[in-house]
Amino acid sequence: MMAVKRVKGSLLSHASKRGRLAGYRLGWSHGLRYGKSEAVIRSQPPQHLPVRDFSVLLVTSGMGYPFSPIDHAVTNAMKKQVRKLQVCSPKDDIVAVAAQFRPTLVIVLLGTHMPVTTVASLKLLGIKTAIWYSDDPYYTDTTRNTAIYYDFVFTNELSCVEFYRQVGCRHVYHMPLAVDLSAFRPMKPKRGYYSDICFIGSAYWYRVEFFNKIAPYLIKQDVKIFGWWWQRLSLYSRLARSIRTEWLSPEETARYYNGAKIVINLHRSPDDETFNKNSSRVAALSTNPRTFEICGTGAFQLTDARLDLPSHYTPGHDLITYTSAEDLVNKLNYYLEHEEERNQIALNGLKKTVRDHTFDQRVRALLSILAERLVL
């Protein structure tokens, strides 16, 4: 009996040592990735943000997630770049505030809760108005009826530029969303945030159909999935241990991105039946905000390719694209085995994001366009 106990103790001790060694290697790998990511951020020269001689009344979306973080990021970027800034919710008496504040222009974010009668009243006061749509093309049945009231229209979706021009808008511009580096940045997450593969997003039917194809593979992997409606998966019961059907804050999302070896990005379909008001079938050509956010954390991204993606990132250098479920599985296998290559691509994506794709840069571009067009 004593000999058996010694053997068992020896085996347990050996397994414990192996576990500690594996944990050490994993922690060291995450620490190295974090250190290199921080070095990329610190190496970027400070960017000059001109302060425009504007007084701006900024009307937020007045909604919760996922739009309130955009409100926050645009507000902070705007504070740095205009002479005076007043921030309102759509629930406020915007016309009264504008009559007292007398802004150069009113900029509305999303605009879902902004009455067009309010926009018309602002025009009667002689105030120019602009709207920045951030959820195109999924609500074009509604936005086509509101865009015409604004002097300037900015849209996150490239295909909507021509769409709004066709409904009568004169000044329409493509303005992608970006990353808020105060939330999405490299960090050292705790062990509970680690995974080999991570996906965060709602289970629209297009995504469900795609994930049904890769679910047999994911069942065997260390995977974390977050978002609403994932009970729709045909193999949900077998993946349930890896799924949390909830919405994560930007900060929590960033922690899970940082803890993942690979983050999957799968864009929403413009034809999806869930929460979609796009009867005109306006195409979805532009990258989603998640593209910028994943790269902003220094995480490695595998994404399906939108037509506009090469305008922002170089596939194969800053991130990797896939074309089908089979292609995704093959690339998941490859990049899980090639850590050095995976980490270098992630660093390239981080560098591009910090340099070109922050809300500071988007607001600077938006204000530059307005400065050229406004008669002050």
Residues 6+ apart with CB under 8 A from 324: none
Look at residue 357 and tell me whether its pLDDT is greater than 70: yes
Domain boundaries, the chain: 52-177+359-373, 191-356
How confident is the model over 237-260, as a mean pLDDT? 96
pLDDT band at 272, cuts 50/70/90? confident
How confident is the model over 118-135, as a mean pLDDT? 97
Look at residue 44 and tell me whether its pLDDT is greater than 90: no
| pLDDT for the residue 276 | 85
CATH of 52-177+359-373, one of 3.40.50.2000, 3.90.1170.10, 1.20.210.10, 3.90.320.10: 3.40.50.2000
Look at residue 163 and tell me whether its pLDDT is greater than 50: yes
Of 72, 64, 260, which Cα lies nearest the Cα of 180? 72
CA-to-CA separations, 198 to 141, 202, 242, 371, in angstroms, rounded: 33, 13, 10, 42
Look at residue 329 and tell me whether its pLDDT is greater than 60: yes
Share of the chain above pLDDT 90, in %: 83
- Give the global pTM: 0.90
CATH of 191-356, one of 3.40.50.2000, 3.10.250.10, 3.40.50.10420, 3.30.1330.40: 3.40.50.2000
Lookup result for tokens 């993606």? 309
Share of the chain above pLDDT 70, in %: 92
Alpha-carbon distance of 297 to 220, in angstroms, equals: 26
Look at residue 294 and tell me whether its pLDDT is greater than 90: yes
Look at residue 11 and tell me whether its pLDDT is greater than 80: no
* pLDDT, mean over the chain: 92
Alpha-carbon distance of 4 to 64, in angstroms, equals: 61
Amino acid found at 370: L
- Give the range among 5-14, 139-148, 278-287 with minimum mean pLDDT: 5-14
Q: What are phi and psi of 197, to 5 degrees?
A: -135, 135
Look at residue 86 and tell me whether its pLDDT is greater than 80: yes
| pLDDT for the residue 32 | 81
pLDDT band at 41, cuts 50/70/90? confident
Look at residue 30 and tell me whether its pLDDT is greater than 80: no
Longest dimension (CA), the chain: 94
pLDDT band at 26, cuts 50/70/90? low
Asked if domains 52-177+359-373 and 191-356 share a fold, the reply is: yes
Lookup result for tokens 């009568």? 168
At 170-201, the pLDDT tens digits run: 999 999 999 999 999 999 999 999 999 999 99
- What is the number of H-type helices and E-type strands within the chain? 13, 12
The three-class DSSP label of residue 301 is: strand
Residues 6+ apart with CB under 8 A from 301: 262, 263, 265, 291, 294, 295, 319, 320, 346, 349
Alpha-carbon distance of 341 to 298, in angstroms, equals: 14
- DSSP-H helix ranges across the chain: 2-43, 68-79, 94-101, 116-124, 140-146, 160-166, 205-218, 236-239, 250-259, 289-296, 325-337, 339-356, 359-373
Cβ 370 vs Cβ 87: under 8 Å: no
Dig out the tokens for 51 from the structure: 């302060």
Q: How far is CA 305 from the centre of its chain?
A: 15
